[in-house]
Structure 1
């Protein structure tokens, strides 16, 4: 029995990956050309761009093999991210670590693997570019140098996506400033128009024609600005979620798309529920997929076959109180001891095994704790050994 390898800098690695704040289901078009180019350079039928988090290998782009994800402990790329050099398996069918894996014994019956780590400027291997084939292959040093260039370009594109998302966030802040300005000018404008009306009435009594004409112009200009402010406010109030936003409906659909395959693979009843009253109100998507995804993957890992994992999403928008996004993930799994709960909430990682012997990496919940605290949220766990677990998160939101 081979124990899955864990990089020495594992927490820094998954934290670095989380900073990209990626939606793993929407990256295909960004890397499809590079995946195809890598296969052509290597002379293999298949190439994959894989990102590896605490629990899952996400194939964010592929060429020659339709695959979206697999458990991290089943992947070959988990070995690639252990070092800075290419990782090659000459024949998967005779390697003790992989010969019994489903992708070797069943379709597509893979034999050859060649992978290069995707390394960030901080020195963290967040995934791998891998080439695979049903036939045995060799890759020359010259081709390896070309593949390294492709791997570097993948990381560069990920960094560019992050910059773009950051710019979108700044544009959102500009929109919020625009709304605040609109709010701020409505009061003074209303006062100006009221004052102009009073002076206008006095002017009629005094018959000051030139003053009347001037004040009437002020009145018209003030009304025009007030109408513009109302137009800005109305547009803001009715706008749909932007690229850097979710609403509860979009978040529910995204979670079901990403994690239903894991539930099916383990025969777990998985469901996402939301509060209908605020289902269409936009809120920031910042780190939500990383936070909730780690909770769901952890819950599925510790829930036996036939069990259930439930996600509840509620956006609380009560008047005169901060808007809060409440996330509850509950499972019917093996549960947690009080000591384990204290370790998680204290940001301490602990490696444990799942219900089917899955090796735990011990960093998923530590990452959740770190991210939630970084967003000024709260994280609570209710559990007892043998009675499942409930994870509850409250995150403050700026809803405009």
Structure 2
């Protein structure tokens, strides 16, 4: 019965270690300053902030010891976390708890060890703050209190990191929920516009309302695909394929996507999606035939290319002209957001028009 209880307690402790997400994290100056201070306070060469994993003891900070981790079995920290009080060994050669320990009997020659458990608010010991020497030494009560205070500061840092991750997680969840509601609202508006266009029959106003409905529905798809795979970086071609698959259904046109594999920052992908939405929607409205979407990488530049098989552009067409339509003005605004430029010209090798957006690759 006690074995089962011990096993369940250890499982809960390991779960707590995972919750703090500290294992194998990069060096942190705040923790390094704590171990340096502990070593000075005790006048010892070594101070460690350890986290006891299932099969290893990993060092978040290791002052005076060029080692990042050791196996759990010979580690004194694995014993120190079994209790709630400081674990003190003034002379390891005389202490029955450490006589057979390889760190004591072997070449390392550990003689002095003092550790305070790093205890969470719900009572789990993640690891220890410990100081080590290769010479035996006494330890004073005020030194123990100092070590306990330093261990509390370590836990304060760990709790701060945990709270920050929770806050970021909640903010991301709220952002997704808001965007989901925006997407639903856009789809609702699109549906209303479509209903209104049908009620007007076949006149010019009905055509414009239906085009507006298609544009709003397409913007909703940009939002949906952005949050379906939001990450630090996104495969641009994969994103464009998903987006254009939906646009093809909405616009009832064939849209083909091909290009180079390139990861772009998630912060840029929504602008790229909105630009693609506008260019494809314009191609469906003013062009004819198949719509081709390409994404090319050359040196330090990305190129987004959208072509149609229509009758081409009017003579002297300038995408930056103030006389262009709403869609073109939206495109030029979005292109500026990604520090890019937009050009328009005839489609190479055939009839039709091509729009090319160039913007810098992420550093």
1:38 deviates by 1.7
CA RMSD of superposed structures (Å): 3.6
The equivalent of 2:114 in structure 1 is 114
1:131 deviates by 0.3
CA distance in 2 between counterparts of 1:239 and 1:121 reads 33
CA distance in 2 between counterparts of 1:53 and 1:225 reads 52
Secondary structure at the residue paired with 2:73?
helix
Instruction: Specify every segment of 5 or more residues in structure 1 that has no aligned partner in the other structure, as ranges.
Output: 1-5, 205-211, 243-279, 281-400
1:26 deviates by 0.5
Given the superposition, is the C-alpha separation of residues 27 and 16 from structure 1 closer, same or farther in structure 2, using an over 3 Å criterion? farther
The equivalent of 1:313 in structure 2 is none
Matched, 1:165 2:165: yes
**Would the aligned equivalents of 1:13 and 1:126 in 2 still touch at CA under 8 Å?**
no
Secondary structure at the residue paired with 1:132?
strand
CA distance in 1 between counterparts of 2:66 and 2:14 reads 23
When structure 1 is superposed on structure 2, of 194-203 and 11-20 the one drifting more is 194-203
Matches within 5 A, 1:336-347: none
Matched, 1:240 2:231: yes
1:149 deviates by 0.8
**Would the aligned equivalents of 1:80 and 1:117 in 2 still touch at CA under 8 Å?**
yes
Given the superposition, is the C-alpha separation of residues 33 and 17 from structure 1 closer, same or farther in structure 2, using an over 3 Å criterion? farther
Secondary structure at the residue paired with 1:61?
strand
The equivalent of 2:177 in structure 1 is 177
**Would the aligned equivalents of 2:187 and 2:217 in 1 still touch at CA under 8 Å?**
no
Matches within 5 A, 1:299-314: none
CA distance in 2 between counterparts of 1:114 and 1:235 reads 52
CA distance in 2 between counterparts of 1:147 and 1:14 reads 27
1:92 deviates by 2.5
CA distance in 1 between counterparts of 2:52 and 2:231 reads 32
Matched, 1:229 2:220: yes
Matches within 5 A, 1:1-400: 11-12=8-9, 14-19=11-16, 20-26=19-25, 28-29=27-28, 31-198=31-198, 225-240=216-231
CA distance in 1 between counterparts of 2:117 and 2:161 reads 19
The TM-score with structure 1 as length reference comes to 0.48
Secondary structure at the residue paired with 2:31?
helix
**Would the aligned equivalents of 2:81 and 2:125 in 1 still touch at CA under 8 Å?**
yes
Given the superposition, is the C-alpha separation of residues 184 and 220 from structure 1 closer, same or farther in structure 2, using an over 3 Å criterion? same
1:203 deviates by 5.8
CA distance in 1 between counterparts of 2:218 and 2:73 reads 60
Secondary structure at the residue paired with 1:189?
helix
CA distance in 1 between counterparts of 2:149 and 2:47 reads 15
1:241 deviates by 5.6
